[in-house]
Chain A
Amino acid sequence: KAGVTQTPRYLIKTRGQQVTLSCSPISGHRSVSWYQQTPGQGLQFLFEYFSETQRNKGNFPGRFSGRQFSNSRSEMNVSTLELGDSALYLCASSLRDRGGTQYFGPGTRLTVL
């Protein structure tokens, strides 16, 4: 079974631009969660989508948004980029059941100049 894939792997943008990141979950997984990891920081939860609906949301500004398609693929968008948005963005898929393990993609490294 193929793992979680994320595209692109690396991205360089300038302040004020917007960016869209993509995540394809493991086949059969309908839950996709997004996380931000900055240097020296743990995993900061952004949001979770399940069956095309946002189910959980972390404490991030409205510049961060997402969506999920009928095939469970998910996209994350960040508008009006700031220098502090430079981070590794990770997505994880799961079955969304009790004890359901999340499986992570390799991440997208975003650098904002």
Chain B
Amino acid sequence: DQQVKQNSPSLSVQEGRISILNCDYTNSMFDYFLWYKKYPAEGPTFLISISSIKDKNEDGRFTVFLNKSAKHLSLHIVPSQPGDSAVYFCAVQDSNYQLIWGAGTKLIIKP
């Protein structure tokens, strides 16, 4: 049973527009949520995180929103740039400090 779900395998967005990536989780006890970006044949790169005491965290073009009642988080990228084309993973930290990962969403930025 997947504890972290990214229901969109891929997403295509026009350059300059907003990209919104979504992630759902099942356990209301999770308290740290992270987003990573991954290019092919490379290790994932940490992007941004949020703790459960907040509902929004911003870092430059990247903003993560957390809706605890819906057990949902989203990553907004504004404006989207060609270099943002990658696979994005959301992850949550469990009580054993382990990260539980979603399956990833491939973001394609169209020129």
A residues neighboring B (CB under 8 Å): 4, 31, 33, 41-43, 45, 48, 55-56, 88, 90, 92, 94, 96-107, 109
Name the CB-closest residue of A to B31: A98
Question: When the two chains form their complex, are residues A45 and B46 in contact, meaning their CB atoms are under 8 A apart?
Answer: no
Q: Complex: how many Å from CA A106 to CA B45? A: 10
Q: Complex: how many Å from CA A100 to CA B49? A: 10
CB-contacts of B82-106 with A (<8 A): 89, 93, 96-104
Determine the chain A residues whose CB is within 8 A of the CB of B51 once the complex forms: 99
Count A-B contacts at CB 8 Å.
58
Question: When the two chains form their complex, are residues B45 and A104 in contact, meaning their CB atoms are under 8 A apart?
Answer: yes
- In which size bucket is the chain B interface? 20 to 34
Q: How far is the CB of B109 from chain A (nearest CB, A)?
A: 20
Q: Complex: how many Å from CA A103 to CA B45? A: 7
Determine the chain A residues whose CB is within 8 A of the CB of B102 once the complex forms: 42
Q: How far is the CB of A37 from chain B (nearest CB, A)?
A: 9
Q: Other CB < 8 Å A-B pairs besides A45-B101, A55-B96, A98-B32, 18 of them?
A: A31-B97, A33-B98, A33-B99, A42-B102, A42-B103, A42-B104, A45-B99, A48-B97, A55-B97, A88-B41, A90-B43, A96-B97, A98-B93, A99-B51, A100-B93, A101-B34, A101-B49, A107-B42
